Structures are given as C-alpha cells and as structure tokens.
C-alpha cells in the first residue's frame, strides 16, 4: 500500500470488531455457511471453506459452531438462507469503500448500510462504481524475529505465494485467495508464528487525505465493520503512521 505497510491499515480498522468476539464469531459462521453452500461441505475439495475454517479457528470459534455452520450451508439443518452481496460507495473526501455483505434479509440490510454511509458523510454507490479499483488478495504478516527471510521466501513461493516484502519489524506475504490456505498451512507446518492473516480486498492504488478527513473515514469504516451483516470493509485511503497514531 502506497509506500508503507498494508498491515498498519488493516490492523487498525479491524481492532474494533475483533474486540467483540460474539459478533466476530457470528460473521465467521456466516462465511462458513456461504462457503459450504457454494462449494460443498468438504474442506479438502472446497478451498473457500478451508480458508473460512482457518480464519474461524484463528479466533477460537468452537468446533461445534463450525460443524453446525457447515451443516446449515449444505442444507442438513435450517439456517443456511444466507446470500452474499457486494456494496460499493464513497466515504468522506470521495475515498472508495467496498463492503462484503452476508445477509439473510437484503431488504433489511440495504437501508441500514445506506444510512451508515450517509450519517458518516459518505454515500452508497451503484454496482461497479469502485469495485474495479480492488482485487482480492491473501495477506499474512510474520514478525521478522520469527523466521529467516530467505527460508520464508523459499517456503511461501514454493506454495504459490506471489511476494514477500519487509515493512517495519515484520515480513508481509501476499498471495491469491485460491492458495491462501495452502500458504498458511505451509507456514504453520514449520512452527512459524503468524501475527496476522486474512483474505481481503486490496486497492490497486491508494489516496492520501488530510487528518480531518482521515478521522471521518475511520469513523465510517468502524461503523461499517461493526454492522452484523458486513463481513469486511475495504477502502483505498492510505492512512499515514501519524494519522493512525492520532486515531488511537
């Protein structure tokens, strides 16, 4: 991301929702339901489901919850009527904002999300108004003290990763979503501790904003992240280290 660590931006905007475990578990359960619904209940042949399970286990989602979500997705028990939608819009300063939605009632979700945008100085947009600015990427952050760089590069590239970069005191591994689970499993098989991992939407280019706009954008992103039906939020804003520090 535009000259500094992608990790800094992602870590800060996820801090709020990740602190609310029950809400996070609910979102991860929905991700498992949709993955199983689209690709079947066997994680060995369903890469998306395997990825969702990895993310769920990373935050200690109980095994029973995971198995129940899979059964909902494949129709063995009720509760699998969840659909996936992409909402696009603009935040303060005209920055691009993309929301991955999983909901069982889009007629409820749409007006709620539109109101969140409007209350925070943004607006919901039309289909593909900003989606073309983003691509989905797997992202894995590892402290430099945890592994030798050459060893890490060899390991992850052999398992399909695209790149390894150095930022601050960590290595950042990027890959396509289809090999994300393979790369994560390869790293963990070598007992290398992963500091942070996720599949997210990454902007092709980023925009800088002043401190006042940065604060307004962060408020919007936090409100969106906190919504029950919003799985993840991406923006093309580039928060500087100074802005992140002032935002707490």
What does each of the 248 residues of the chain score in pLDDT, given as a tens digit?
333 456 556 555 555 445 566 788 899 999 999 999 999 999 999 999 999 999 899 888 999 999 999 999 999 999 899 999 999 999 999 999 999 999 999 999 999 999 999 999 999 999 999 999 999 999 999 999 999 999 999 999 999 999 999 988 899 999 999 999 999 999 999 999 999 888 889 899 999 999 999 999 999 999 999 899 999 999 999 888 787 777 66
My answer on whether 154 and 196 are in the same domain is yes
Residue 101 exposure: Cα atoms within 13 Å on the Cβ side? 23
Same domain, yes or no: 99 and 141: no
Domain shared by 91 and 214, yes or no: yes
79 falls within a domain: no
**Same domain membership, residue 151 and residue 169:** yes
Question: Cα–Cα–Cα angle for 159, 3, 175, nearest 5°?
Answer: 15
Residue 247: inside a domain = no
pLDDT in tens, 147-204: 999 999 999 999 999 999 998 889 999 999 999 999 999 999 999 999 988 888 989 9
Domain presence at residue 244:
no
248 within a domain of the structure (yes/no):
no
* Per-residue confidence (pLDDT) for residue 2, from 0 to 100: 34
Shared domain check, 125 and 174: no
Name the pTM for this structure. Answer: 0.82
Q: Of 198, 137, 207, give the one whose Cα is nearest residue 13.
A: 198
**Environment class of 45 (CB within 10 Å of its CB; exposed 0-12, middle 13-18, buried 19+):** exposed
Within a domain: 78: no
Q: Do 64 and 173 lie in a common domain?
A: no
Q: Is residue 128 part of a domain?
A: yes
Q: Indicate if 46 and 100 belong to the same structural domain.
A: no
User: Which CATH number covers residue 220?
Assistant: 3.30.70.980
Q: Has residue 234 been placed in a domain?
A: yes
Domain boundary among 73, 93, 124: 73
> 139 and 123 in one domain?
no
Structural domain including 40 reads: 6-73
Asked if 144 and 197 sit in the same domain, the reply is yes
- Number of structural domains, the chain? 3
- Measure the CA–CA gap between 4 and 168, rounded to whole angstroms: 9
Model pLDDT for residues 18-31, shown as the tens digit of each residue: 556 678 889 999 99
> In the structure encoding, which two tokens stand for residue 187, read together?
């790293």
Q: Is 243 exposed, middle or buried (0-12, 13-18, 19+ CB in 10 A)?
A: buried
55 and 170 both lie in a single domain? no
- Say yes or no: 67 and 48 in one domain: yes
Contact 37, 199 (CB under 8 A): no
Asked, for residue 246, whether it belongs to a domain, the answer is no
Which pair of structure tokens corresponds to residue 11?
């870590």
Q: What is the pLDDT of residue 9?
A: 60
Report the C-alpha gap between 126 and 64 in whole angstroms.
39
Q: Are residues 21 and 119 in the same domain?
A: no
Q: Are strands 170-175 and 196-203 parallel, antiparallel or unpaired?
A: unpaired
């Amino acid at each position: 991301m535009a000259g500094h660590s992608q990790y800094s931006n992602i870590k800060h905007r996820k801090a709020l929702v990740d602190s609310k475990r029950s809400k996070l578990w609910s979102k991860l359960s929905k991700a498992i339901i949709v993955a199983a619904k689209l690709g079947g209940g066997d994680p060995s042949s369903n890469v998306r489901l395997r990825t969702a399970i990895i993310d769920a286990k990373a935050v200690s989602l109980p095994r029973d919850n995971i198995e129940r979500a899979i059964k909902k997705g494949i129709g063995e028990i009720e509760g699998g009527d969840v659909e996936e939608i992409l909402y696009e819009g603009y935040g303060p300063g005209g920055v691009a904002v993309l929301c991955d939605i999983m909901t069982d009632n889009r007629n409820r979700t749409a007006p709620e999300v539109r109101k969140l945008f409007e209350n925070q100085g943004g607006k919901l947009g039309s289909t593909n108004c900003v989606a073309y600015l983003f691509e989905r990427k797997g992202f894995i952050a590892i402290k430099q003290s945890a592994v030798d760089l050459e060893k890490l590069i060899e390991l992850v590239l052999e398992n399909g990763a695209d790149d390894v970069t150095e930022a601050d005191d960590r290595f950042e591994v990027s890959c396509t979503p289809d090999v994300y689970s393979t790369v994560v499993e390869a790293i963990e098989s070598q007992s290398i501790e992963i500091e942070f991992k996720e599949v997210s939407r990454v902007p092709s280019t980023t925009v800088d904003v002043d401190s006042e706009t940065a604060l307004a954008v962060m408020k919007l992103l936090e409100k969106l992240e906190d919504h029950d039906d919003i799985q993840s939020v991406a923006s093309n804003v580039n928060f500087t280290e100074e802005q992140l520090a002032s935002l707490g």
